[in-house]
Structure 1
Amino acid sequence: MFDQFVKDVSGKEMYLIFSLWIFLVFFVVVSILLFITKKQYIDYMGDLPLEDGTPDASQSLPL
C-alpha cells in the first residue's frame, strides 16, 4: 500500500534518509536531556499530579 503512494516520487531515498536523521537527532537529544536532568527535579515533577495543596492525612495525625 505504501509503495503505491511513493512509486511516482522522485528522490524517495532522500526522504527516508532525512526522516531517519530526524529520528536519530531527536532520540539523542532526549537521551542527553534524560541523563543531565537532576533526579530531584524528576521526582518533583512526578509528584505534582498527586499533590492538591492540602496537607496529607498522615502528616496531621499526632504521634
Structure 2
Amino acid sequence: MFKQFTENINANQAYLLFSLGIFFVFFIVVTIMLIRIRKQHVDHMRDLPLHDSLTDSTPPLQS
C-alpha cells in the first residue's frame, strides 16, 4: 500500500510528507520527554515564579 502511495508523489507532496514526518518525530520526542520527567523537577519549575529573588528585592514602581 505504501509503495503505491510513494510512487505517485510529485515535488509538492514530498514536502508535505516531510513536514508530516517532522511533526510526528517531534510529537513522539516530546511525549517521551513528558513521560520521563521527574516529579521533583516539575515541582521545582512550578515554584520558580513564587520564589524569584529579583521580584522580592526590587522596590515598587513609582506612578
TM-score, length of structure 1 as denominator length: 0.64
User: Equivalent residue for 2:29?
Assistant: 29
Higher relative contact order (CA 8 A, sep 6+): 1
Q: Runs ≥4 in structure 1, deviation > 3 angstroms?
A: none
Offset of 1:43 from its aligned partner?
0.9
Q: Number of residue pairs matched?
A: 44
Matched, 1:49 2:52: no
TM-score with structure 2 length normalisation? 0.64
Identity of aligned residues (%): 52
Structure 2, unmatched stretches of 5+, are 1-9, 54-63
In structure 2, distance between residues paired with 1:37 and 1:12: 38
By how many angstroms is 1:49 displaced? 1.1
Runs of 5+ consecutive residues of structure 1 not aligned to the other structure? 1-9, 54-63
